[in-house]
Amino acid sequence: MNAEKTTLISHPAAAARLWVVCLCAQWCPACNDYQAVFAGLAATMGQRHPATRFVWIDVEDQADLVGDLDIETFPTLLVGDGDGVRFLGAVTPQADVLSRLLEAMHQPDAPRGPHRPDSLRIIEQLAACPDVWLRESLAKI
C-alpha cells in the first residue's frame, strides 16, 4: 500500500462508491428547506451515477458517526470515496449549486485531497453498512 494514500482497507469495494453526505441539524431552518432539494438531486443524480450514495446525517442525532468533525455552517457537504475527499465544506442550499458541484465531482479528473481522520471515519462507517445508513437517511428526507 502506498503510504501517501489512505484507502478504505476494511471495505475495499466501497472505494469505488462516491459518497455524498449532507451534514445538517434538525433545528436549522436552512437544512429543513434543503432536505427536499437534496432528496430530489439524490434521485436524479442516482439514476445518472448509480455508484453514488447519498446520505443525510443529522449531526446531533448521529453524533457518534460524525465524531470530531467540526461543522461551523449548515448545510455542510462531504463528498468522498475510499481514496480521498473531493469536497468538504458549507454549500448554499440551492439545487443548481449542488447539481454543478456534483457533476464536477463525477469528472475523472476531479480534484481529490487526502482524508482527514474524521472524514475517513465517516466514509468507513457508511461503507461498513451502507444499506442501514441509506435506509435511515432516506426515511429522513
CATH of 14-140, one of 3.40.30.10, 3.30.479.30, 3.40.50.720, 3.40.50.1980: 3.40.30.10
Domain locations in the chain? Answer: 14-140
Query: What predicted TM-score, i.e. pTM, was given to this entire model?
Result: 0.80
Nearest 10 degrees: Cα torsion 125, 104, 4, 69: -40
Q: Stretch 45-68: mean pLDDT, rounded?
A: 86
Q: What percent of the chain has pLDDT over 90?
A: 18
Nine cell digits for residue 38: 437534496
The DSSP string of 54-108 is: EEEEETTTTHHHHTT----SSSEEEEEETTEEEEEEE--S-HHHHHHHHHHHTST
3-class DSSP assignment, residue 2? coil
3-class DSSP assignment, residue 21? strand
- Out of 25-34, 96-105, 118-127, pick the least confident: 118-127
The strand pairing partners of 108, in sequence order, are none
Q: What percent of the chain has pLDDT over 70?
A: 80
- The pLDDT assigned to 78 comes to 93
* 6 pLDDT more than 50: no
* 94 pLDDT more than 90: no
- The pLDDT assigned to 127 comes to 81
Q: What is the mean pLDDT of the chain?
A: 79
